[in-house]
Structure 1
């Protein structure tokens, strides 16, 4: 979660305020009504994506504002706070969970007409599987920690990992995160299957897509475990650190839980 506080000191001078809580990007700060973060080879493509979303009317993403004099990317500051970990009640009711599913569908429909720059470079941590790979430019991390809400205004942030993907691959990750599908007994949901159905209905999946999504839920979770395991083995950050913090074991347990309950997800989706 990005923790935000006032950006003016007692004398009214605008400061650079660190926005902490992300697992991947360091050096993210707020300056006035903007966010500054380290740019990379992927930044021009991501800004082209965000510009396209604005042009076609999708407002649930920050507006790109170019680079500053330090070479950092500049984005519109999105007011509010992330849903995870302290405000999950925002998406607890099924009606509000359904809003998440509709937002994801609106994004996927909006990005369908996007033509990436010819020299686009992307930073996709987990390449999509062959099922629809490259169908759209996906977010790849649609989750409560990247959903900022302020009253009735909801936006997805942290688009740096966007890149070629598929609708279902993107949605599978969101389902895992927003239900959430977890083996942790303290967080395991007795209504998990019903929440899977809420997201699928809100997104507007047809029967064939529901049948494809069901086994993909475990494959998407396993892909995250594989990323962390590979990062641990190679010493690649931040994955090695996250592995040491126990995230790998958590994703392994979650993958097993999702696989073991595959029939429950399918039954909920089709009845």
Structure 2
């Protein structure tokens, strides 16, 4: 069966084969397989199904049809209040399904750790695009609920210099945490800053170690972009923190 490359994969080469997706296996493949099987067993439709490994040693996942928001310019519905609230509720759903399971270990839940529009499948609901599923679970690991929600706030609101209205960003930050019903709000903004700092330092260290994908990211300006976003959040920390009190 012919293979066709899927767009948006900057780090991994991902291809579609019929109704399946093939992606390189990693050290986390076994954990991801167990996680996706758990979500399937619980009847949750917000993630692909794990189907095994092919003859080339690649993970085989079910293909999720819909609109993946990987390009910079997107339909307005992708970033609407309704879509933000839906993302938060979807995250709450899979967090709750993993809470107290062996996969979560001694942590609160299993976190996706790379939630963003480019890893979200949107489908039409009542005529509008709405988040329906998350893809690219290869960084999933035990963690705290706030870790994923902080990443959602950073990525789905594009917190950084591109934000034209700080108060509007703060309002939408509150919308996300209210929709998730996050209890630990005091540390939300500091966790966003932690993510941003961790991200650029991780790219730098892995690129220095010779990771080709991280070298490409650094060469594309990712480190300076994340550092600039960190500075913006730091500069507007007061307004963002007041919005979620």
TM-score, scaled to structure 2: 0.90
Matched, 1:259 2:224: no
The answer to whether the Cα contact below 8 Å between 2:95 and 2:145 also exists between their aligned partners in 1 is yes
Q: Distance in 2 between matches of 1:231 and 1:149?
A: 32
What is residue 128 of structure 2 aligned with on the other side? none
The answer to whether the Cα contact below 8 Å between 2:108 and 2:143 also exists between their aligned partners in 1 is yes
Q: Distance in 2 between matches of 1:264 and 1:197?
A: 11
Of residues 81, 92, 95, the one that matches 1:108 is 95
Q: Secondary structure at the match of 1:65?
A: strand
In structure 1, the gaps of 5 or more residues are 1-13, 119-132
1:165: Cα distance to partner? 1.9
Matched, 1:137 2:131: no
The 5 A counterparts of 1:124-203 are: 134-152=107-125, 154-184=132-162, 187-190=163-166, 191-203=168-180
1:88: Cα distance to partner? 5.1
Q: Distance in 1 between matches of 2:113 and 2:151?
A: 7
**Residue-by-residue CA offset, 1:176-228 (whole Å, 9 max, x unaligned):** 001120123xx54441111111101001023xx11111221111111111112
Q: Distance in 1 between matches of 2:165 and 2:210?
A: 34
Count of residue pairs the alignment pairs up: 238
Q: Secondary structure at the match of 1:238?
A: helix
- Displaced runs of 4 or more, over 6 A: none
Matched, 1:65 2:51: yes
1:245: Cα distance to partner? 0.8
The answer to whether the Cα contact below 8 Å between 2:104 and 2:110 also exists between their aligned partners in 1 is no
1:69: Cα distance to partner? 2.6
Matched, 1:87 2:74: yes
The answer to whether the Cα contact below 8 Å between 1:182 and 1:188 also exists between their aligned partners in 2 is no
Q: Distance in 1 between matches of 2:91 and 2:115?
A: 8
Q: Distance in 2 between matches of 1:178 and 1:189?
A: 15
What is residue 5 of structure 1 aligned with on the other side? none
**Residue-by-residue CA offset, 1:48-104 (whole Å, 9 max, x unaligned):** 100101112221000111122332211100001212324352332212211111111
What is residue 7 of structure 1 aligned with on the other side? none
Q: Distance in 2 between matches of 1:70 and 1:57?
A: 29
Q: Distance in 1 between matches of 2:104 and 2:234?
A: 38
Q: Distance in 2 between matches of 1:243 and 1:188?
A: 26
**Residue-by-residue CA offset, 1:81-136 (whole Å, 9 max, x unaligned):** 21232435233221221111111111111111432399xxxxxxxxxxxxxx8432
The answer to whether the Cα contact below 8 Å between 2:21 and 2:62 also exists between their aligned partners in 1 is yes
The answer to whether the Cα contact below 8 Å between 2:104 and 2:142 also exists between their aligned partners in 1 is no
1:116–1:157: structure 2 CA closer, same or farther, 3 Å change rule?
Answer: same
In structure 2, the gaps of 5 or more residues are 126-130
Q: Distance in 2 between matches of 1:201 and 1:35?
A: 34
Q: Cα RMSD (Å) of the superposition?
A: 2.0
